[in-house]
Amino acid sequence: MGQVWRYVVLTLLSLSLQAPFALAQGNFKQVLQKTPTSRLLFSPHTIGVVIADAVSRVYILNARKGQWLRVEPQGMGARALVVVFDKQGKQLASLSNGSSPFEYQLPASGDYYILASSGPTNHRYNFVLSVFTEGG
C-alpha cells in the first residue's frame, strides 16, 4: 500500500509542477478566456509599475512601435511565472525567480500581454514592468 501512495503523491507532484508551464505554452486564446485580465494604463509621466499578487492574471498593455518593454522579476515565488506575449499570442519571454530582466523593442503598436501565473499553489509573483523610449 505504501508504494501506491508514493506513486499517487509523485504523480500529483509531477502534474502540479507542470501546470505553470502548460498554462504558458497552451492555446493563447484559451488562456485569455480562462484567466482574469487587467488593462494597464499609465499617466503621461509614468513609465512603469510594480505588480505583485498571488492570483494568476493577464495584464494587457497597449504600447507603440519603437518603445521598449522591460519586465524584471523581483522576489518571485518558487512556482510563480511571468510570460510575455505579443499581440498575435507569440511567446516572447518566460521569467521565473532568478531570471534576468527581459528587455524588448516593440516591433508594432498594439496590445501586449503579460501572463502572471501564481502556479497551482498560489505562489506570489512580484515584477517591475516598464515601457520607455530609447534613452528614456
* Per-residue pLDDT tens digits for 82-125: 999 998 889 999 999 889 999 999 999 999 999 998 888 888 99
Per-residue pLDDT, averaged over 58-80, amounts to: 92
Domain boundaries, the chain: 2-132
Question: What pLDDT band is residue 26 in, cutting at 50, 70 and 90?
Answer: low
Q: How far apart are CA 23 and CA 118, in angstroms?
A: 11
Query: CATH 2.60.120.380: does it fit domain 2-132?
Result: yes
Instruction: Give the predicted TM-score (pTM) of the model.
Output: 0.77
Neighbours of 103 (CB within 10 A): 13
